């Protein structure tokens, strides 16, 4: 037997391993190893020396600083004594979440399911108190709140508008194909470009809408100096870019709904809304859940838009957690940077697992 | 519907009445077209604004808004000339870098990812749970040794792998619990949850220690891994949907798995491959954060170049920046317009099954 045949036989015998090894090795080297290393960095204080690092173990000190210490205002927000509105929110949310947990526990109880919901509930209550003590008591919240604002408000808006547009494009309108191509385009455009374009457009003195602003009397007003206006503008930019993604996938899903179902319902005299609720929606729900899961995962990583449009300002009002970590890295504070990144990872995992657990698995259980 | 049967209808009623079951009432029609046209304007306007800004003189930008070329202002090619004639070197370099990095990283992640996806769809794996725990323990040990005891990076890693190999050989007979293909698949796809900021600092240090920082290779490798989960996820569903008979008969005829994969499976999954390739390429083309860490000058990509135009002595030169952004988005927008049906179908496939 010559070498070539022996080699090809060896290849064939080990083909199972050969197929999967490159991917596993790549992930181990560039994801898992850095993940562990990053955790070590988050537990250390790192000083840069000439050409090398000096690593000192500080335990949970970095996390402590972000959550309780001098960086608390930056990560969680500035705390104030909880106001009346804050108490209403906190107690209302806590009661609602506890009731939901109780209802689950009394109906159907599995240990794993209960622990998963317990984590979700604890996270939800924690957030309710966080916002009660910052936003509802008149103080700014930190990068955690900003990131959650981008994720929940942004993704919510994007889902509603994306679904609406997809629904309109399934109607018998002329030029449908042109609309769908045009609506798809923003997804392709680099987020950096989106950031600069919206910065120009939102300019109240030189931008395209400045005559309008001046007419309203806001000519001197700068959106970049107002925390909420800046946040909303970033959500607008983000939505401009990402609605196409949701639109395209949901449009394809809507077109996959069998015509017969809809026509049968129409013949039975169901109204448009009833058809959507009882026929179309259950059919597209799996796709909608998956597309939102993907969108939420990507939304947590938002960094380009706030960096370009406002550099995180005014103050820290538009700083996402990735940007927070990036700034800490720029200040050569690697430990803090890694700690913030890990906190981001923790929040992302809790939110995504909760979403998966409640929406995706919930759907499977129902069907 | 018979119009003559209902003679006493007012104009208002007519407005809200559907002439037939397949058409919309006039009022609905107006609303639908109104919304669609409004959204078209919303989508197109920022791009239009970038385009006309690139033809404006500084005075046109700073003196308040002008909208229509030849009517409001005289378009000038000065920004385009500046980019293409006088100062093309930096942009050209970044452009070429971006093309090289986007293409190679896409190719790499498609190749590796689709191989893994195919294997997970067709071959049964039973890695032992104990071996995985052992591996993770060795890794953690190595990292702790590096970080706390100051051991050298590469020798320590090699030693840890050696220890793992030895222990796995000795102990693997005693491990009973195995994990299945579904678990491996979930593990690979779930890597996408990992925000790049979490891993980028160690990746930076790793490339620094092998002196690959600011090279194409570093960025290509990193991008391939970041996009690997998408490839595995989309291609897994695609391979699952291909009937297995063809592969089985080819294997009976003596074809090896590699041949089956290369000659039968890949040609059959052209549409899926096309959609995934496009998606991954666009992600690589637009990526910002990782490039920010891993490139400084030589391997600088377009997003970094554009973002860096923020800082200038004369403020932001909006017209030059618009030119660069337009040059950067033209190829992907063209691709999107031509191939958007592909992408939609590819994404849908993943979303339905996933």
Looking only at the bridges linking them, the beta strands covering A52-57 and A44-49 are antiparallel
Tell me, yes or no, whether B49 and B172 share the same domain: no
Residues of A in contact with B236 (CB under 8 A): none
Q: Could you report the per-residue pLDDT of B304-345, keeping only the tens digit for each?
A: 888 888 766 667 788 888 898 999 999 888 887 777 667 666
Both structure tokens of A146: 């900003």
Residues B21 and B61 in one domain: yes
Rounded to whole angstroms, what are the CA distances from B320 to B51, B58, B85, B298, B312?
A: 11, 10, 13, 22, 12
Give mean pLDDT, residues B193-201. Answer: 90
Identify the sign of the CA torsion A29, A30, A32, A37. positive
Pick the residue with more confidence: A125 or A173? A125
Residues in chain A closer than 8 A to B67 (CB atoms) = 208
Which of these, A167, A197, A169, lies nearest to A284 by C-alpha position?
Answer: A167
Selected residues 102-121 of chain A with any CB under 8 Å from a CB in chain B? none
Q: What average pLDDT score do residues B281-306 get?
A: 89
Residues with Cβ within 8 Å of residue B189, at least 6 apart in sequence: B229, B232, B233
Q: Are residues B96 and B33 in the same domain?
A: no
pLDDT at position B101 over 90: yes
Range from A99-108, B66-75, B134-143, B275-284 carrying the lowest mean pLDDT: B66-75
With residues binned 3-state (H G I as helix, E B as strand, rest as coil), the percentages for chain A, rounded to 5, are 75, 5, 20
Contact A189 B329 (CB under 8 A): yes
Min mean pLDDT across A7-21, A77-91, B112-126 is at: A7-21
- CA dist A87 and A110 (Å) reads 33
What's the Cα-to-Cα distance from A253 to each of A240, A266, A304, B230, rounded to whole Å?
Answer: 21, 20, 30, 19
Residues in chain A with CB shorter than 8 Å from the CB of B279 are: none
Distances A296 to A183, A300, A347, B346 between C-alpha atoms, Å? 21, 6, 12, 20
Same-domain status, B151 and B203: no
User: What's the Cα-to-Cα distance from A357 to each of A147, A154, A349, A354, rounded to whole Å?
Assistant: 22, 21, 12, 5
Rg for chain B (alpha carbons), in Å? 28
Residues of A with Cβ-Cβ distance to B53 under 8 angstroms: 200
Is the predicted pLDDT of residue A118 greater than 60, yes or no?
A: yes
Give residue-wise pLDDT tens across range B16-44: 777 766 677 788 888 889 999 999 999 99
As a whole number of angstroms, the distance between CA A210 and CA A218 comes to 9
Chain B, window 222-241: residues with a beta carbon less than 8 angstroms from a chain A beta carbon:
222, 224-225, 228, 232
Q: Which helix (H) or strand (E) holds A192?
A: helix A191-202
User: Does any CB of chain B come closer than 8 Å to the CB of residue A355?
Assistant: no
Q: What is the mean pLDDT of residues B264-278?
A: 85
Q: Is residue B53 part of a domain?
A: yes
Question: By the 8 A CB rule, do B117 and B111 touch?
Answer: no
Same domain membership, residue B338 and residue B289: yes
Chain A contact for B343 (CB, 8 A cutoff) = yes
- The more confident residue out of B274 and B310 is B274
Q: Is residue B173 part of a domain?
A: yes
Site from B114, B202, B337 to mutate, A interface, most A CB atoms within 10 angstroms: B202
Is residue B159, in this structure, part of any structural domain at all?
yes
pLDDT at B353: 47
Count, residues in chain A: 367
Both B302 and B206 in a single domain?
yes
A189/B221 CB distance under 8 A? no
User: Are B117 and B263 part of one and the same domain?
Assistant: yes
Residue A317 near chain B (CB below 8 Å): no
Q: What average pLDDT does chain A have?
A: 86
Please check whether residues B116 and B151 belong to one and the same domain: no
CATH number of the domain where residue B326 is located = 1.10.3720.10
Of the given ranges (A93-97, B37-41, B61-65), which has the lowest mean pLDDT?
A: B61-65
Q: In this structure, are B310 and B345 located in the same domain?
A: yes
Give the count of domains, chain B: 3
B3 assigned to some structural domain? no
Contact A27 B258 (CB under 8 A): no
Domains along chain A with CATH numbers = 72-78+140-366 (1.10.3720.10)
Contact B279, B343 (CB under 8 A): yes
- Sign of the torsion angle spanned by Cα atoms B20, B22, B27, B28: positive
C-alpha dihedral sign at B85, B88, B92, B95: negative
> What is the pTM for the complete model shown?
0.88
How far the first Cα of chain B sits from its last, in Å, is 44
Shared-domain flag, residues B70 and B107:
no
* Residue B272 belongs to a domain: yes
Higher per-residue confidence, B287 vs B153: B287
Domain-located, residue B321: yes
Q: Calculate Rg over the CA atoms of chain A.
A: 25
Distance of CA B344 to the CA centre of its chain: 14
pLDDT at B105 over 90: yes
Q: Of A192, A264, A275, which to mutate for an interface test with B (greatest number of B Cβ within 10 Å)? A: A192
Nearest chain B residue (CA) to A243:
B43
Nearest by CB: B44 against A18, A35, A182: A182
At residue A239, the pLDDT reads 95
Res. B183: pLDDT tops 80: yes
For residues B21 and B124, the model is more confident at B124
d(CA B201, CA A48): 14
Q: Which residues on adjacent β-strands are paired with residue B64?
A: none
Look up tokens 């979700």; give the residue.
A120
- What is the pLDDT, as a whole number, of residue B6? 54
- Among residues B145, B179, B213, the one where a domain terminates is B179
Q: What percent of chain A has pLDDT over 70?
A: 96
Nearest to B241 by CA among B335, B349, B315: B349
B268 shares its domain with B348:
yes
Q: Which residues of A touch B23 (CB under 8 A)?
A: 172
User: CA-CA distance, B164 to A187, in Å (whole number)?
Assistant: 45
**Residues in Cβ contact with B318 at an 8 Å cutoff, skipping those fewer than 6 apart:** A196, A200, B53, B56, B61
Q: Which tokens go with B140?
A: 């953690």
Length of chain B counted residue by residue: 354
pLDDT for A149: 94
- Interchain CB contact of A329 with B (< 8 Å): yes
For A248, the closest chain B residue by CA position comes to: B344
pLDDT at A102: 87
**Domain, as residue range, for B154:** 126-179
**Domain-located, residue B219:** yes
- Residue B186 within any structural domain of the chain: no
**Is A330's Cβ below 8 Å from some Cβ in B?**
no
Cα–Cα distance between B212 and B221 in angstroms, integer? Answer: 11
The ipTM assigned to this model is 0.88
Beta-strand runs (E) in chain A: 44-49, 52-57
Window 109-148 of B, Cβ < 8 Å to A: 112-113, 115-116, 118-120, 123, 125, 136, 139-140, 143-144, 146-148
Mean pLDDT within A109-116: 81
Task: Give the least confident one: A155-169, A207-221, B51-65.
Answer: A207-221
Q: Which two tokens stand for residue A31?
A: 């994801």
Q: Mean of the pLDDT values across residues B225-248?
A: 87
- B172 vs B55, residue with greater confidence: B55
> B253 and B107 share a domain?
yes
Both tokens of residue B281?
Answer: 């390429």
Query: Does the beta carbon of B208 lie under 8 angstroms from any beta carbon of chain A?
Result: no
Judged by DSSP in three states, A47 sits in: strand
> How many beta-carbon contacts under 8 Å exist across A and B?
294
| Cβ neighbours of residue B271 closer than 8 Å, sequence gap 6 or more | B342, B345, B346
Q: Where are the beta strands (DSSP E) in chain B?
A: none
Structure tokens at B349: 């496939």
Considering only residues 22 to 51 of chain A, which have any Cβ-Cβ distance to chain B shorter than 8 Å? 22-24, 26-27, 29-38, 40-41, 44
């Amino acid at each position: 037997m010559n070498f070539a045949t022996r080699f090809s036989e060896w290849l064939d015998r080990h083909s199972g391993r050969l197929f999967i090894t490159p991917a596993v090795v790549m992930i181990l080297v560039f994801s898992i190893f850095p993940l562990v290393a990053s955790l070590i960095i988050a537990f250390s204080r790192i000083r840069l020396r000439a050409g090398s690092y000096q690593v000192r173990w500080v335990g949970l000190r970095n996390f402590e600083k972000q959550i309780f210490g001098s960086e608390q205002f930056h990560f969680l927000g500035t705390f104030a004594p909880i106001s009346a509105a804050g108490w209403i929110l906190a107690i209302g949310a806590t009661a609602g979440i506890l009731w939901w947990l109780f209802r689950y526990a009394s109906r159907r109880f599995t240990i794993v399911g209960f622990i998963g919901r317990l984590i979700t509930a604890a996270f939800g209550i924690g957030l309710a108190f966080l916002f009660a003590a910052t936003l509802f008591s008149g103080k700014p919240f930190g990068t955690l709140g900003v990131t959650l604002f981008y994720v929940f408000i942004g993704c919510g808006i994007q889902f509603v508008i994306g679904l609406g547009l997809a629904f309109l494009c399934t109607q018998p309108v002329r030029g449908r194909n042109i609309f769908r191509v045009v609506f798809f385009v923003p997804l392709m455009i680099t987020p950096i470009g989106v950031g600069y374009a919206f910065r120009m457009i939102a300019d109240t003195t030189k931008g395209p809408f400045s005559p309008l602003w001046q007419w309203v009397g806001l000519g001197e007003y700068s959106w970049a100096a107002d925390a909420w206006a800046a946040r909303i503008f970033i959500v607008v930019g983000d939505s401009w870019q990402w609605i196409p993604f949701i639109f395209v996938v949901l449009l394809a899903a809507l077109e996959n709904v069998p015509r017969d179902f809809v026509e049968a319902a129409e013949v039975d005299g169901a109204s448009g809304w009833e058809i959507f609720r009882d026929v179309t929606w259950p059919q597209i729900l799996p796709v909608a859940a998956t597309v939102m899961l993907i969108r939420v995962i990507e939304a947590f990583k938002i960094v380009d838009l706030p960096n370009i449009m406002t550099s995180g300002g005014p103050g820290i009002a538009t700083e996402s957690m990735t940007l927070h970590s990036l700034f800490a890295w720029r200040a050569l504070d690697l430990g803090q940077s890694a700690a913030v990144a890990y906190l981001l990872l923790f929040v992302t995992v809790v939110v995504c697992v909760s979403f998966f657990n409640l929406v995706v698995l919930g759907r499977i259980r129902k069907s | 519907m018979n119009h003559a049967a209902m003679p006493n209808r007012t104009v208002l009623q007519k407005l809200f009445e559907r002439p037939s079951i397949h058409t919309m009432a006039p009022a609905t029609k107006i609303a639908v077209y109104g919304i669609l046209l409004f959204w078209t304007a919303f989508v197109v306007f920022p791009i239009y604004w970038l385009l006309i800004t690139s033809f404006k003189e500084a005075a046109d930008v700073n003196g308040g808004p002008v909208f229509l070329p030849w009517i409001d202002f005289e378009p000038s090619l000065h920004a385009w000339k500046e980019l293409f004639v006088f100062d093309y070197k930096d942009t050209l370099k970044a452009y070429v870098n971006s093309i090289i990095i986007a293409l190679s990283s896409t190719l790499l992640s498609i190749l590796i990812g689709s191989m893994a996806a195919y294997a997970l769809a067709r071959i049964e794996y039973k890695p032992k749970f104990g071996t995985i725990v052992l591996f993770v323990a060795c890794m953690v040990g190595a990292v702790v040794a590096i970080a706390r005891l100051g051991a050298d990076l590469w020798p320590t890693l090699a030693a840890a792998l050696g220890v793992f190999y030895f222990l796995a050989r000795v102990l693997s007979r005693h491990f009973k619990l195995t994990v299945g293909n579904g678990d491996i698949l979930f593990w690979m796809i779930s890597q996408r949850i990992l925000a790049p900021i979490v891993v980028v600092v160690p990746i930076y240090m790793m490339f620094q220690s092998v002196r690959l920082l600011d090279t194409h290779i570093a960025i290509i490798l990193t991008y391939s891994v970041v996009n690997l989960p998408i490839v595995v996820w989309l291609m897994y569903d695609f391979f699952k949907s291909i009937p297995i008979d063809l592969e089985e008969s080819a294997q009976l005829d003596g074809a090896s798995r590699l041949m089956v994969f290369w000659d039968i499976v890949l040609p059959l999954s052209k549409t899926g491959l096309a959609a995934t390739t496009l998606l991954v390429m666009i992600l690589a083309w637009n990526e910002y954060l990782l490039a920010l860490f891993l490139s400084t000058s030589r391997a600088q990509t377009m997003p970094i170049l554009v973002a860096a135009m923020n800082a200038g002595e004369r403020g932001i030169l909006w017209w030059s920046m618009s030119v660069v952004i337009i040059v950067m988005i033209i190829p992907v927008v063209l691709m999107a317009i031509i191939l958007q049906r592909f992408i939609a179908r590819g994404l849908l496939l993943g979303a339905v099954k996933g």
